[in-house]
Amino acid sequence: MDFELTPEEKAFQKEIHEFLDKECNENVVAETLSLQGAGPYSKELLRKMGANRLLAPRWPQEYGGRGMGAMAEVIKVDEITSHHAPFPLDGVELGNALLISGTEEQKKRFLPGVARGEIDIALGYTEPNAGSDVASIQLRAVDNGDEFILNGQKIYNSEAHVCEYHWLLTRTDPTAEKKHRGLSMFIVDLKSPGITIRPLYTMAGLRTNEVFYEDVHVPRANLVGEQNGGWAVIMSALYGSAVGGGMATGTKNVIDTLVKYVLEEKQDAGENPWIPEALADIYIKTRVGELMGVQAAAYADLGVIPLYGGGASVSRLLGGDTRRLLYNTAMQILGPYGQLVKDSKWAPLDGEILKEFLDAPRWTIVHGSQEIQKLLIATRGLGLPRK
Amino acid sequence: MDPRLSEEQEILRKSARDFLTEKCPKTLVREMEKDEKGYSPQLWKEIADLGWLGLAFPEEYGGGSMSFLDLAILLEEMGRALFPGPFFSTVMLGGLPILDIGSDRQKEKYLPDIISGKTIFTMALTEASGKYDVASVKTKATADNNNYIISGTKLFIPDASVADYFLCVARTDDKAKKAEDGITIFIVDATSPGISKTVLDTIARDKQCEVVFDKVKVPGENILGKLNQGWGEVQKIIERAAIAKCCEMLGGMQVVLDMTVAYVKERIQFDVPVGVFQAVQHHCVYMLVEVEGSRAATYDAAWRISTGRPYSGEAAITKAWVSDAYQRVVALGTQAHGGVSIIEDHDMPLYFRRAKAAELMFGDARFHRKTVARNLGFKVA
């Protein structure tokens, strides 16, 4: 048993930490905190990170990675999020699936560009009538020989407006007996004629999108995996992301900020004895989730990957709950000042807490709602019966 | 990073589990709850012969020279089996403190007998307040030529009824500027005149005692560590014991999770196993969160002890999480089981009752959250 990072991992952590200390400037941070998707400063930073092979450490060297493990991925995500550098990088996460399900030609075509920070790929699963029940998607892809013709609509595809490609789940066989057997995955150039992207905004001000497909022609070469084998590709994408909650430096920074705020600004802390214990409770939950997430990454690197039911899945569950608790508690600490929006007079802590409070529910919904996570952990992890 | 047990540790775990499955069935656990001693001398001898008592002690005293991590594995297994008896007290609250801060003479005198199973130790720390803080130590030890005279009442002292020796924590200087600076640990022979012991009827029926020291004479050479500087050592003993207790609790809650999952797969209501209902599934999933979190934190902390890393902050985080976790696991476990699990002869009450006792031992979640709050920078009393 050994819970220390390897010297190689520590060196990578130091390298990316120092790089972002230097390169992740206030313009990038402002873009990230704006929740509007990666802007020009962010894209410039991503290209610099790519040039230093910092974006996809888990990929093989030949595709622009470093051939490191899941732990390096955890370290990268931790450094990026705690520096407020652009995130998520769905292209990197989906690249893991492409490594499993893609052809050699597809890997060569897409992975190096993602690793260099030149292209990014947006997730395209959800539709207005297919959320948790993703196998019910209707966006139709009709086989037309060398190409497919696509019609339909996706929704909540965040980052689609700043990404170059779409990782798109389509229905290729509407007659398939089981609905998940008629699905196919494509990588679609988002500049293709017939694609319209319209913004949607969350209550936190985060931009997401509706994406409409109207007679969009997609070459057969962009089909990932088997025709009608899209479900297996989705599963490989989940597999690639099964690293879990990871490290929690960003959350711990927020707790530190709140402690400082209470000690410096709230001179009546003595009259609020619940605050120290409440923040300690959140810190404990954060730290335990971090330990689970990090150990899950170590297990993954040792080839022990309990996809559901292990530390990876439960650390994500705990992380989502803890995030809600953190910002709810933070708002209680701020009292009436907490309701003041960014830039308004008297807004504490730059109005960031309010925004995160409004953004917290998103985290227990995106990438598989908590209810779906629990269903999978219960049935696949614990082996409980489905019917 | 490698969170796995080594091959040797897997063997240790398996042999401990096999042994306890055979020798420590729930019938014995229940029997020992009613037994005056609270443990089986026969079983005690067997675990001594297996080298369990000496596992983490150096070979020169007859020990196994294994690590704290190995001991953690054994404790987890004991927590699974609800092993009755003074193992924890003797090793965590007697032997290891003597190994850490005892003089060569003290080590030679006491450790071989601990390791061979001949003597039982415990620590007499807590008093009327029930708290693990320095202000709660009111028992006094007054110098008298080469001896000290100890007077005071200790409460919630585990296994005191069967202990041969106490590590008694007493105030030796009540004029010290800081309360921490006047505390000394004494090794006290339990047969000394002036000691009276009463077993307390507790939720876990685990032989916690009231121990009254009435002008008990103790030779000055029985000071463990340094005069007036014992509190720092007491804190270290408590922090390590808290992590060790978490190992036991982890074993217990894993059993509760496993038996709950097994039961909801079998229990038929509305013509289906109740495990198909999402309400029940979610109970099981949250139990898993508690158990996995406890495992991740406990073994990280045990590894820190084992490798000589600082672990004070981790002890607080771990005991706070695990204390709450065990409570939630037994609460959800009973809920998922339904009525059958609250009947006294079901195994669940054995774990339910011990979850509370273990939560209270070495500081409950609230106590440790205060420590975490202090570590975050708050001034918390």
Note whether B89 and B120 are within 8 A (CB).
Answer: yes
Note whether B107 and B137 are within 8 A (CB).
Answer: no
Residue A7, class by beta-carbon neighbours within 10 Å (0-12 exposed, 13-18 middle, 19+ buried)? exposed
Interface of A with B in 205-234 (CB under 8 A): none
Which chain B residues touch A379 with a CB distance below 8 Å?
281
Strands (DSSP E) along chain B, which ranges? 121-124, 140-144, 147-158, 165-171, 183-189, 195-199, 208-219, 223-224, 268-269, 272-273
Does residue B381 sit within a domain? no
pLDDT at position A15 is 98
Whether A345 contacts chain B with CB within 8 A:
no
B267-289: buried (b, 16+ CB within 10 Å) or exposed (e) per residue?
A: beeeeebbbbbeebbbbbbbbbb
Query: Quick one: CATH architecture of A123-238?
Result: Beta Barrel (2.40)
Contact criterion met (CB < 8 Å) for B372 and A6:
no
- The CATH 2.40.110.10 domain(s) of chain A lie at 123-238
Contact criterion met (CB < 8 Å) for A384 and B281:
yes
Q: Which domain holds residue B302?
A: 232-376
Q: What is the pLDDT of residues B236-275, one digit of tens each?
A: 999 999 999 999 999 999 999 999 999 999 999 999 999 9
Which chain B residues touch A262 with a CB distance below 8 Å?
378
Tell me the CATH number at B138.
2.40.110.10
pLDDT at position A306 is 66
pLDDT at position A244 is 66
Contact criterion met (CB < 8 Å) for A276 and B380:
yes
Under the banding of pLDDT at 50, 70 and 90, the label for residue A235 is: confident
Interface of A with B in 94-133 (CB under 8 A): none
CA distance A15 to A13: 5
Domain boundary among B119, B147, B172: B119
Domain boundary among B208, B228, B248: B228
Following DSSP, what letter does each residue of B169-229 receive, concatenated? EEES-TT-SSGGGGEEEEEEETTSTTEEEEE---TT---EEEEEEEEEEEEGGGEES-TTB
The reply to whether B56 and B167 lie within a common domain is no
Tell me the CATH number at B102.
1.10.540.10
Contact criterion met (CB < 8 Å) for B285 and A276:
no
What are the C-alpha distances in Å from A384 to residues A368, B261, B273, B283, B330? 19, 7, 9, 12, 19
CA distance B77 to B250: 9
Question: CA dihedral in degrees (B11, A299, B295, B238; nearest 10)?
Answer: 80
Residue A335, class by beta-carbon neighbours within 10 Å (0-12 exposed, 13-18 middle, 19+ buried)? exposed
* Residues forming beta bridges with residue B166, ordered by sequence position: B122, B188
Which chain A residues touch B264 with a CB distance below 8 Å?
384
Task: Report, in angstroms and rounded to the nearest whole number, the Rg of chain B calculated over CA atoms.
Answer: 21
Q: Count of H helices and E strands in chain B? A: 12, 10
Does residue B56 sit within a domain? yes
B259: nearest CA partner in chain A: A382
Does residue B143 sit within a domain? yes
Q: State whether ipTM is beyond 0.90.
A: yes
Whether A386 contacts chain B with CB within 8 A:
yes
Does residue B65 sit within a domain? yes
Whether A291 contacts chain B with CB within 8 A:
yes
B304: nearest CA partner in chain A: A3
Q: What is the pLDDT of residues B320-343, one digit of tens each?
A: 999 999 999 999 999 999 999 999
Following DSSP, what letter does each residue of A171-211 receive, concatenated? ES-TT-SSGGGGEEEEEEETTSTTEEEEEEE-TT--EEEEE
Average pLDDT over residues A73-92: 94
Statement: residue A269 has pLDDT above 60:
no
Which chain B residues touch A375 with a CB distance below 8 Å?
278, 281
pTM, two decimals, is 0.96
Farthest-apart Cα atoms in chain B, separation: 79
- Quick check: helix, strand or coil at residue A212? strand
Statement: residue A273 has pLDDT above 90:
no
Does residue B294 sit within a domain? yes
Whether A274 contacts chain B with CB within 8 A:
no
Statement: residue A297 has pLDDT above 70:
yes
Q: Which fold has domain A242-381?
A: Butyryl-CoA Dehydrogenase, subunit A; domain 3 (1.20.140)
Q: What is the pLDDT of residues B186-215, one digit of tens each?
A: 999 999 999 999 999 999 999 999 999 999
Closest of B103, B379, B71 to residue B247, by C-alpha: B71
Contact criterion met (CB < 8 Å) for B281 and A379:
yes
- Residue stretches of chain B with pLDDT short of 70: none
pLDDT at position B91 is 98
The reply to whether B43 and B83 lie within a common domain is yes
Which chain A residues touch B372 with a CB distance below 8 Å?
280, 283-284
The reply to whether B246 and B355 lie within a common domain is yes
- Quick check: helix, strand or coil at residue A96? helix
The reply to whether B366 and B240 lie within a common domain is yes
B5: nearest CA partner in chain A: A1
Helix B230-266, helix B347-360: angle, nearest 10 = 160
Does residue B248 sit within a domain? yes
Note whether A240 and A246 are within 8 A (CB).
Answer: no
Helices (H), chain A: 7-23, 26-33, 40-51, 70-82, 90-101, 104-115, 230-240, 249-264, 274-301, 311-334, 352-363, 370-376
pLDDT at position B148 is 98
Whether A381 contacts chain B with CB within 8 A:
yes
Statement: residue A61 has pLDDT above 80:
yes
The reply to whether B237 and B372 lie within a common domain is yes
Whether A7 contacts chain B with CB within 8 A:
no
Contact criterion met (CB < 8 Å) for B264 and A295:
no
Whether A2 contacts chain B with CB within 8 A:
yes
Closest of B292, B120, B274, B269 to residue B197, by C-alpha: B120
pLDDT at position A307 is 60
Q: Taking the CA of residue B22 as centre, how many other CA atoms within 13 Å lie in the half-sphere pointing to its CB?
A: 8
- Quick check: helix, strand or coil at residue B36? coil
- The CATH 1.10.540.10 domain(s) of chain A lie at 7-87
pLDDT at position A127 is 98
* Domain count for chain B: 3
Following DSSP, what letter does each residue of B42-81 receive, concatenated? HHHHHHHHTTTTTTTS-GGGT-----HHHHHHHHHHHHHH
The reply to whether B132 and B224 lie within a common domain is yes
- CATH top-level class for A7-87? mainly alpha
- The CATH 1.20.140.10 domain(s) of chain A lie at 242-381
Size of interface A-B (CB pairs under 8 A): 150
Contact criterion met (CB < 8 Å) for A374 and B278:
yes
Contact criterion met (CB < 8 Å) for A295 and B3:
yes
pLDDT at position A267 is 62
